[in-house]
Amino acid sequence: MEKSEIIQNTILFVKKTLENAEGGHDWFHIERVYKNALLLAKNENVNELIVSLGALLHDIADSKFNNGDETIGPKIAEEFLHTQNVDSSIIAQVVAIINNISFKSSLSKSKKERFTSIELDVVQDADRLDAIGAIGIARAFNYGGFKNRQLYNPDIKPNLTMSKEEYKNSNAPSINHFYEKLLLLKDKMNTKTGQQIAAERHKYMELFLEQFFAEWNGEK
């Protein structure tokens, strides 16, 4: 099967699978990450098929919406790719990306324990870019509303030393998420292009928070 046909079939599969997904983790999130990944890949020596499939399938069954089960997504992706007769070595790389892409994975594994590849670096940066900036802000509050969380509560301070389990089980206000994750992503980018884009989106979030707290405190 041609690479273009595999990618097109994957797009159709992901669209169908995520048609009722939460707004911050739906097909449009996948599409943005896919486009980001292709942009970043232009400046890196990568296997573009692995990057494309990793980006398209990275959230096919996010554990947040599957009772915390982190095995479902990789399993669905692997089974689908087998139906497309994708080479087993490529499938293994894509599954490894899905298993290692998340922010919470970095909370539970030391650098020595983590799977690494330039394709993972690219897809991870692409996913992280969609978590910051204007879209990142929108996604944070969309998910907070989905989980019926408070916008902000000055009595609940951000937890800056969370374990993976604490991160998974957190019900903190949406504003806390900026300090617990979103503002940290700029310094966790892997690629030079990702770092440049992240720097601009980071500034936008800082301006938003400045305005938010000024309005919260009746200063503006």
Residues 117-143: pLDDT tens digits?
999 999 999 999 999 999 999 999 999
Is 205's pLDDT higher than 90?
Answer: yes
| Residue 179 pLDDT level (bands cut at 50, 70, 90) | very high
pLDDT tens digits, 44-67: 999 999 999 999 999 997 656 565
Choice among 28-37, 130-139, 160-169 with the minimum mean pLDDT: 160-169
So what's the pLDDT on residue 139?
Answer: 95
Q: Between residues 128 and 116, which one has the greater pLDDT? A: 128
Domain span at residue 80 reads 3-216
Average pLDDT, the chain: 91
The domain spanning residue 52 has which CATH number?
Answer: 1.10.3210.50
pLDDT at 106: 62
Over 80: is that where the pLDDT of 9 sits? yes
Half-sphere exposure of 200 (CA within 13 A, CB side): 8
What's the angle, vertex CA 41, arms to CA 35 and CA 47, rounded to 5?
Answer: 110
Going 59 to 193 to 130 to 174, the CA torsion angle's sign is positive
Q: Which helix (H) or strand (E) holds 128?
A: helix 118-129
List pLDDT tens digits, range 72-88: 889 999 999 999 999 99
Structural domain count, the chain: 1
| Residue 26 to residue 148: CA distance in whole angstroms | 19
Q: Which of 23, 34, 24, 216 is nearest to 136 (CA)?
A: 24
Q: Which residue has the tokens 């599957």?
A: 66
